[in-house]
Amino acid sequence: MIIYRVVCKKERDMLIKNQSLGFSFLKKKKWFSSNLTWLKERVQDGKFNNSKFVEDRYEYLLEFDIDKKYLSEFSKIGYKEMMLNVRNSNFKINSIKEI
């Protein structure tokens, strides 16, 4: 299954470099979406979640390929967002690529 996440340069570099580690080296909860249009039009609009105060916060769009069986580890938030508690998950990411 393909899901997306918009990240800053630092997180992008860590994820691309350490794909084999999955999400295990990240901290906190991370937000994803399967709705690419929403991410491009709303999250990357420069107004989302105080992004105008933090440079490059939502600059890079990443595509994650994960097995559908791991969807149960995500909490569905509304219609467009999925939250992953990184501390409680440990599964393999098939691939990560920048869009």
Residue type, 77: I
Strand duo 74-77 + 60-65: pairing: unpaired
Per-residue model confidence as pLDDT tens digits over 42-80? 777 766 666 566 677 778 999 999 999 988 889 998 889
Confidence of residue 97 (pLDDT cuts 50, 70, 90): very high
User: Each residue of 14-39: pLDDT tens digit?
Assistant: 888 887 767 666 678 888 999 999 88
Which pLDDT value is given to residue 25? 62
pTM value is 0.83
Report the amino acid identity of residue 95: S
So what's the pLDDT on residue 56?
A: 72
Strand locations in 1-99, DSSP E?
Answer: 2-7, 29-32, 60-65, 74-77, 81-85, 95-98
Separation CA 78–CA 10 (nearest Å): 28
> Looking at the chain, how many residues does it have?
99
Q: Which two tokens stand for residue 76?
A: 């569905």
* Per-residue confidence (pLDDT) for residue 58, from 0 to 100: 79
